[in-house]
Amino acid sequence: MLAPVILAASRSDKMRRFVSAAPGTKQVVERFIPGETVDQVVPVVVDAVDKGLEVTLDVVGEDITTPEQAAAARDAYLELIDRLKDLGLGTKAEMSVKLSMFGQALEDGHELALANVRPVVEAAAAIGTTVTLDAEDHTTLDSMFAIHDELRKDFPQTGCVIQAYLFRTEDDAHRLAANGSRVRIVKGAYKEPAEVAYQDKSEIDKAYVRITRILMEGSGYPMIGSHDPRLIAISQELARRAGRKLDEYEFQMLYGIRTEEHVRLAAEGHRMRVYTAYGTDWYGYFMRRLAEKPANLIFFARSTLTK
């Protein structure tokens, strides 16, 4: 019941100002977003790799409104990649990007987003790593997949995300489960209408399993993005039945969520990648984390009220 309200608030400027100014917000935000700067996130990356984990780094931000902001987003990723260069981690530290942060919703946004993301993908390839295109709301996906296709012509390792809650996704999975393509499957984090998406949790879970089977049986590289213990166990079984070795797929979870499970899966020999977001424009990312688990909202309200 609460999730749609929180997701609607995640797009409201008034709520953004209110939440950002609330006492106690910072403390709750830090659970999910370990820093605001490259300097703060680099030690987090090093620590994760020391523990046998891998990371995908997200400079938080989305729905920007000017081409200058889109260029600034590109430059923030280029700065990050420049810092990662010295660490020599290769694909242990990859990047995740939201095309709305690269200008996708602006005039001629498709071309603008492609022009801004290409140098990031090039720079990542130059240090031996990759970029994955996050999936945002359903209206943006045709453009995201077209940009993914375009980038893969020169950088076939470029990944993308598909969302189990969308009716379209099984078809997308069939198309993408080929030629070594790297595909992250997630449940989906946006507020989507009943015309395009399952609304019922159990329907979403069933779709997740069907789509994971398609990915596991294909010739791409599946990335299982979930904290759901049942779906993780089912994915392991689907991988086994498809004859995949442990390095022929990976698990991914978000920083700050089920942390002990990150380490457990890595210790079992799985590739385990932690999605680590950092930066100052954390509002949209943070609100989606609140929507995923209403208990987070209670924690947030408590820490705000006790300040």
Taking CB under 6 A as the criterion, the residue among 228, 280, 297, 299 binding ligand FDA is: 228
Main-chain phi, psi angles of 96, to 5 degrees = -115, 135
- Residue 249 engages ligand FDA in binding (rule: CB under 6 A): no
User: Is 226 marked within a binding site?
Assistant: yes
Query: Encoding tokens for residue 42?
Result: 């680099």
Choosing from 74, 118, 134, 152, the catalytic residue is 134
DSSP per-residue string spanning 75-125: HHHHHHHHHHHHHT-GGGEEEEE-GGGGTTTSTTHHHHHHHHHHHHHHHHH
Taking CB under 6 A as the criterion, the residue among 54, 62, 94, 134 binding ligand FDA is: 134
Does the active-site annotation cover 134?
A: yes
> Which residue lies nearer to ligand FDA by CB, 85 or 168?
168
Which residues have C-beta within 8 Å of that of residue 84, sequence separation ≥ 6? 45, 93, 127, 129
Min dist. Cβ of residue 293 to ligand FDA (A): 4
At residue 183, the 3 state secondary structure works out as strand
Taking CB under 6 A as the criterion, the residue among 61, 103, 109, 188 binding ligand FDA is: 188
8 A C-beta contact, residue 164 and residue 187: yes
Residue indicated by tokens 């990371």: 55
User: Is 163 marked within a binding site?
Assistant: yes
Taking CB under 6 A as the criterion, the residue among 25, 140, 163, 181 binding ligand FDA is: 163
User: Is 125 marked within a binding site?
Assistant: no
Binding-site size for ligand FDA (CB under 6 A) equals 23
User: Is 10 marked within a binding site?
Assistant: no
Q: What is the 3 state secondary structure string of 125-181?
A: HHCCCCEEECCCCHHHHHHHHHHHHHHHHHCCCCEEEEECCECCHHHHHHHHCCCCC
User: Is 206 marked within a binding site?
Assistant: no
Tell me which stretch binds ligand FDA (CB under 6 A): 21-29, 66-74, 147-155, 222-230: 222-230
Work out the widest C-alpha separation in the chain, in whole angstroms.
53
- Residue 191 engages ligand FDA in binding (rule: CB under 6 A): no
Main-chain phi, psi angles of 21, to 5 degrees = -90, -10
Does the active-site annotation cover 63?
A: no
* Sign of the dihedral defined by the CA atoms of residues 161, 134, 137, 10, in that order: positive
- Residue 275 engages ligand FDA in binding (rule: CB under 6 A): yes
Min dist. Cβ of residue 34 to ligand FDA (A): 15
Choosing from 74, 118, 152, 184, the catalytic residue is 184
- Residue 254 engages ligand FDA in binding (rule: CB under 6 A): yes
* Residues constituting the chain: 307
> Which residue lies nearer to ligand FDA by CB, 212 or 296?
296
Residue stretches of the annotated binding site for substrate: 98, 288-289
List of residues contacting ligand FDA (CB under 6 A): 134-135, 161, 163, 186-190, 225-228, 252-254, 257-258, 275, 289, 292-293, 296
Residue stretches of the annotated binding site for FAD: 163, 187-189, 201, 226-227
Residues with catalytic function = 134, 184
